[in-house]
Structure 1
Amino acid sequence: MAFLLVPLVLAVLVTANWYLWRRLFRDTTAGPGLPRRAGAVLIAGGWILAVAALVTERAGAPFWLQRTLAWPGFLWLALSIYLLLGVLVGEAVRPLLRRFLERRARNGAAAEEPVAHPVQVGAPAVPPSSERPESTTEPEPPAAPSRRVFVSRVVGGTAAAVAVGTVGYGTYGVLRGPKVKRVTVPLAKLPGRAHGYRIAVVSDIHLGPVLGRGFAQKVVDTINSTQPDLIAVVGDLVDGSVKDLGPAAAPLAQLKARHGSFYVTGNHEYFSGAEQWVEEVRRLGLRPLENARTELPWFDLAGVNDLAGESEGQGPDFGKALDDRDTTRACVLMAHQPVQIDDAVRHGVDLQLSGHTHGGQLWPGNLIAGAANPTLAGLDRYGDTQLYVSRGAGAWGPPTRVGAPSDITVIELASLRM
């Protein structure tokens, strides 16, 4: 099946980019020349950089090379999405604009019809040679672009401007840092003394070639400003090795919470050396929960490995993390992917904390992410188990979010025994 899928994907990409080149460069120019060649180079070069950025990151190429390719390559991925969407929307605008211009041209031609003037009888038709003005030759003005080219320039230029603005604003939103979102979650088994207990949930920070130490510091400062009782780091912390990203993750040592900071792996850790990162976060003062549980004063906190760990024999083990516990106590589970909710329900978990979806990150990616996950973002209920899914603090690939702003969530537990 894979050998059929790859050619199909390539065919779709080539067709989409040819269409993009046609609408933005061929249709907006009167004939072959530099603009068309430059457009082809821009589109092909952007995709070469994008593929190179993905390959070098996954292959563990020298970090300086990853950083060099990441910014232009990943930003091109985001920009190409919105350029394509822009020209597709332009197909609906094109005929409307063309009809408007045709109507205006007809009205203008009717207004400029010549008016007959009376001619004096006996007046010479041609003035004497002595009175004739000297003939002058003036250069003809350059021909105006055809209506088709003009329409293409308006539609293509608007699509490009909107795409650049969308990606620029979405990138600024990520680099500015995540905002705090506050959610109240009632738990039937939570004792009254724990009413108002605050858990800071952060997922999908994605430190890597683009988001580095400065971004990590913003995340840490934002979490600490909420003064949480407990911090839950719910996977996808990094996209790279401890060797390359250890300095970027160093600010995590500054996390402060009354009952400590806890961590579970996400799928991206298993692309980056999960065992090494588990040891690194432990060294930084976080407590990894690898299919494990700890008893806090008023509830149990458990964590399971990500599903991606199954390929390394380190997958989730709900029995190890949750069996033999006191089921009269409330239980909060850290699990990176929302699809793990079914196992959480079977083991009587009261609240599962997850990430992974990014809320879709780039609209309309939310449609795909929503179809692949039981909950895209926010709080939901499955039987007696509640699921909270964070949109994440960072971004994977393009450092850009559209329609899915990043967040750090402060969950305030509410007791029903007040």
Structure 2
Amino acid sequence: MVRALIFLSIILLYGLLNYWIGMRLWQLAGKFIPHVTASLYWLVFWLVVLSFLAGRLCERYVNYKIGQPLILLGSYWMAAMVYLAIILGLLELVRLADKRLTFLPRGAYEQFPTAPLIGFSVLIIVIVIIGYGWWNARIPHIIHYDINIPKQAGSIKQLHVVAVSDLHLGNTVHNKRLQGLVEMVNGLNPDIILLPGDIVDEDPMPFIEQNMGHTLRKLAPRYGIYAVPGNHEYIGGRWVEIINGLEKAGVNVLQDEVIKVADSFYVVGRDDLYSRYYTNNKRSDLQTIVQGIDKALPVIAIDHQPVNLSEPEEQGVDLQISGHTHRGQFFPFNIVTARIFEIDRGYLRKENLQVIVSTGFGTWGPPVRIGSQSEILDIVINFNSPAGKSPS
């Protein structure tokens, strides 16, 4: 019942916001386009606005290939909606100020030529912003860190880790982009690869039909590939298929598990914090997971969401790698993630715990990044070295 009320509230707010945007765009631009009637304008407008929801329904109940273009269209609209709301909101403030101060020409927001000049300028600005965001989202950056863990790891003095979070393989991040990622990661020649969740974006069908598992099998680090589920593996309700597909591709998916690698260090993989909402099973506490391990050896944890960082700090984790935040993916949501998370991107040290949070490789929803970037983490860990060296 609570979830249904939240969902209906979101749909209502989404509809009201879009109605306001639609009204302003009609007043400023739509009614000045030749041969475009109000009925035609609103028909096209609502088809675009509702395309994401329609695509999701088609994906679930009809065929994902039919839903895919609708989801893509709706995803772009969601990003455009945000910037239209911001710009039109600012214009609304100017209009209200003009009512008191009368500094604009009379009828500037209603009459030709000033109204369409304003309206089409707004549309062009938003198109440019979204175009930049699309381009920026498709250029991955290799982010390098040198860190020290003051423990011995058997005969291993240095470990080269590549971590890639939030691939979101599916409707917007296709096999071609995965192939490019695999080439970049293999070019770094890592000893071990870590995937901190949201690898497959809800629906496993694009992953299966595009044979992305075959592409992942081209990764062959010395000590293997380890992953944890993120919230998006669970959201679509088909996490079993997703995890099986990843395992078949040579990815070791850890769900509240510990594995000792090369008899030298531990990788701790935590189930996603939100898994309880979909599986009715609460994830184990970290103390239970690491009970009995030899903490004289290095302990590396992968946890999709960088939350409750006091827990790994207290349980002797040396390094935690997370994702999830996307650093908001596009402005102004980076302001939100900066307030929600203790760290939403980059490096943090808490006593003996070191935390690295990635903005992720792929995107969810709008395939745009503004104020964030696509990342591949390239981490060199030196063992048995003096603590306190800052990451480069």
TM-score relative to the length of structure 2: 0.85
CA distance in 2, matches of 1:181, 1:222: 12
Match of 1:265 in 2: 229
Q: How does 1:31-42 map to 2 (within 5 A)?
A: 34=36, 36-42=38-44
Instruction: State the SS of the aligned residue for 1:338.
Output: coil
- State the 1:410 CA deviation: 0.7
Q: How does 1:169-248 map to 2 (within 5 A)?
A: 169-174=132-137, 176-189=138-151, 194=156, 196-246=158-208, 247-248=211-212
- State the 1:308 CA deviation: 2.9
- Would you say the 8 A contact 1:306–1:315 is kept in 2? no
Segments of structure 2 that go 5 or more residues without pairing to the other structure are 387-392
- Would you say the 8 A contact 2:329–2:369 is kept in 1? yes
RMSD in angstroms over aligned alpha carbons?
3.1
CA distance in 2, matches of 1:262, 1:413: 17
How many positions carry a matched residue from both structures? Answer: 375
- Would you say the 8 A contact 1:66–1:209 is kept in 2? no
1:244-273 Cα deviation digits (max 9, x unpaired):
422234311111212111111111112342
Match of 1:118 in 2: none
Instruction: State the SS of the aligned residue for 1:254.
Output: coil
Instruction: State the SS of the aligned residue for 1:211.
Output: coil
Matched, 1:157 2:120: yes
- State the 1:146 CA deviation: 8.8
Matched, 1:293 2:294: no
Match of 1:274 in 2: 239
Matched, 1:394 2:357: no
Q: How does 1:111-126 map to 2 (within 5 A)?
A: none
CA distance in 2, matches of 1:146, 1:240: 43
Letter in 2 for 1:303: G
- State the 1:353 CA deviation: 0.9
CA distance in 1, matches of 2:52, 2:378: 35
1:355-386 Cα deviation digits (max 9, x unpaired):
11111112111233333333211111334322
- State the 1:38 CA deviation: 4.1
CA distance in 1, matches of 2:93, 2:156: 57
CA distance in 2, matches of 1:31, 1:287: 56
Instruction: State the SS of the aligned residue for 1:34.
Output: coil
Letter in 2 for 1:385: L
1:90-125 Cα deviation digits (max 9, x unpaired):
3456678983768xxxxxxxxxxxxxxxxxxxxxxx
Match of 1:283 in 2: 248
Letter in 2 for 1:283: K
Letter in 2 for 1:44: W
Match of 1:86 in 2: 87
- State the 1:393 CA deviation: 0.6
Task: Say if 1:402 and 1:61 are closer, same or farther in 2 by CA, change over 3 A.
Answer: farther
Percent of aligned pairs sharing the same letter? 25
Letter in 2 for 1:285: G
Matched, 1:168 2:131: yes
Match of 1:134 in 2: none
Matched, 1:358 2:326: yes
CA distance in 1, matches of 2:136, 2:121: 22
Matched, 1:368 2:336: yes
CA distance in 1, matches of 2:295, 2:221: 26
Q: Give the stretch that moved more between structures: 397-406 or 272-281.
A: 272-281
CA distance in 1, matches of 2:70, 2:170: 12
Task: Say if 1:249 and 1:67 are closer, same or farther in 2 by CA, change over 3 A.
Answer: farther
CA distance in 2, matches of 1:302, 1:41: 52
Q: How does 1:324-363 map to 2 (within 5 A)?
A: 324-363=292-331
Segments of structure 1 that go 5 or more residues without pairing to the other structure are 103-143
Task: Say if 1:315 and 1:4 are closer, same or farther in 2 by CA, change over 3 A.
Answer: closer
- Would you say the 8 A contact 1:349–1:385 is kept in 2? yes
- Would you say the 8 A contact 2:28–2:109 is kept in 1? no
Match of 1:250 in 2: 214
Instruction: State the SS of the aligned residue for 1:18.
Output: helix
Matched, 1:47 2:46: no
Match of 1:312 among 279, 289, 292: 279
CA distance in 1, matches of 2:291, 2:167: 30
Task: Say if 1:161 and 1:257 are closer, same or farther in 2 by CA, change over 3 A.
Answer: same
Instruction: State the SS of the aligned residue for 1:154.
Output: helix
Task: Say if 1:417 and 1:21 are closer, same or farther in 2 by CA, change over 3 A.
Answer: closer
Task: Say if 1:337 and 1:5 are closer, same or farther in 2 by CA, change over 3 A.
Answer: closer
Match of 2:28 in 1: 27
Letter in 1 for 2:15: V
Q: Give the stretch that moved more between structures: 395-404 or 239-248.
A: 239-248
CA distance in 1, matches of 2:273, 2:110: 57
Instruction: State the SS of the aligned residue for 2:144.
Output: strand
- State the 1:193 CA deviation: 6.7
- Would you say the 8 A contact 1:360–1:369 is kept in 2? yes
TM-score relative to the length of structure 1: 0.80
CA distance in 2, matches of 1:7, 1:316: 28
- State the 1:415 CA deviation: 4.0
